[in-house]
Amino acid sequence: MVNDGLHRRSLMAGAAASWIAAGAARAQPAPLTFLALGDWGRGGGRHQREVAEAMASTAAERNGQFVLSAGDNFYPCGVQSVADPHWTASFEEIYAAAALQTPWYAALGNHDYRGKPAAQIAYAKVSPRWRMPARYYALRGAGAVVPDLDIFVLDTTPITGDFGEALMRLSQGRVSAPDAAPQVAWLERELAASEARWKIVVGHHPIRSGGHHGGSPALAAQVEPLLERYGVQAYICGHDHALQHIQVGATHHVCSGAGSSAGHVEAVEGTRFALGLPGFTSFTLDRGGLALRFHTAGGDVVYEAALRQT
């Protein structure tokens, strides 16, 4: 009888352990995959259409949940209204695949400022997937998809203080960009309040880059210290038309500005990878960390890296 009792208790303990293990496995969140690109809107020209096709294949294969757009969404001078033909020619008809009918969280770039930035904000009210609630905004829990990820989308044109770009906007009949100070203060408040294990900041201009434009001293002075202070794992940008992974300190700088074309790029301090070919980036967040992959317009994965918490 004693042996029978021990046997029954052993079976019950084993069953309970199996049930708990199975429950824990079910409770683990599924991997989250999303895509990122910048500098793309050319009416399908250059390599935009090929990049879009490769994005669609990757999103379908990996169950992409959303897209991050790092600005320069429409060349050469942004859009003028929600009825601008650019919306159809450069966005709706190019990224028409079913796998890309997911939220697109977009930042503004300097070329977008040559048009009317407010038109891109307004389009979010009429489009089921274009998301731009303001010139800069926070995406808590990555849009309620995963609680452990907060994304902060910046409007970097006002921060960079680019005099040449300001003259270009004036030549297009546009006024200067808004004051940068309120946005930088907003970013610090938002980062300080974030309890997410993973934090990503998106902005058009690079802080560090080996591309044609190079990094922004203004962003390096005003934004980069906040990334380090509040444990931001990745800063995603465009502007330089290349694929770059640069790590300085705990922050990974990921340039994905090759959405339709690419140019010269070289190594700078912290460069782990740099390639001047059209393409985009995919990210996957799971229990192992945040993984990034660079994809070319032909669909090839040319680089992979794991971004782990420090």
CA pair distance 224, 258, nearest whole angstrom = 23
The per-residue pLDDT of the chain, averaged, comes to 89
CA pair distance 219, 310, nearest whole angstrom = 23
Q: Look up the domain containing 79 and give its range.
A: 32-307
Question: Residue 164 — pLDDT band, cuts 50, 70, 90?
Answer: low
For 105-127, write each residue's pLDDT tens digit: 999 999 999 999 999 999 999 99
266: CATH: 3.60.21.10
Question: Residue 1 — pLDDT band, cuts 50, 70, 90?
Answer: very low
Specify whether 155 is located in the same domain as 273.
Answer: yes
Specify whether 155 is located in the same domain as 36.
Answer: yes
Tokens for 284? 């996957």
CB atoms under 10 Å from CB of 122, counted, come to 16
Specify whether 179 is located in the same domain as 126.
Answer: yes
Specify whether 22 is located in the same domain as 142.
Answer: no
Specify whether 47 is located in the same domain as 101.
Answer: yes
Specify whether 297 is located in the same domain as 203.
Answer: yes
The count of structural domains within the chain is 2
3-state secondary structure 161-197: CCHHHHHHHHHCCCCCCCCCHHHHHHHHHHHHHCCCC
pTM: 0.88
Question: Residue 23 — pLDDT band, cuts 50, 70, 90?
Answer: very low
| 159 DSSP assignment | H
Q: Please, are residues 114 and 78 in contact by the beta-carbon 8 Å criterion?
A: yes
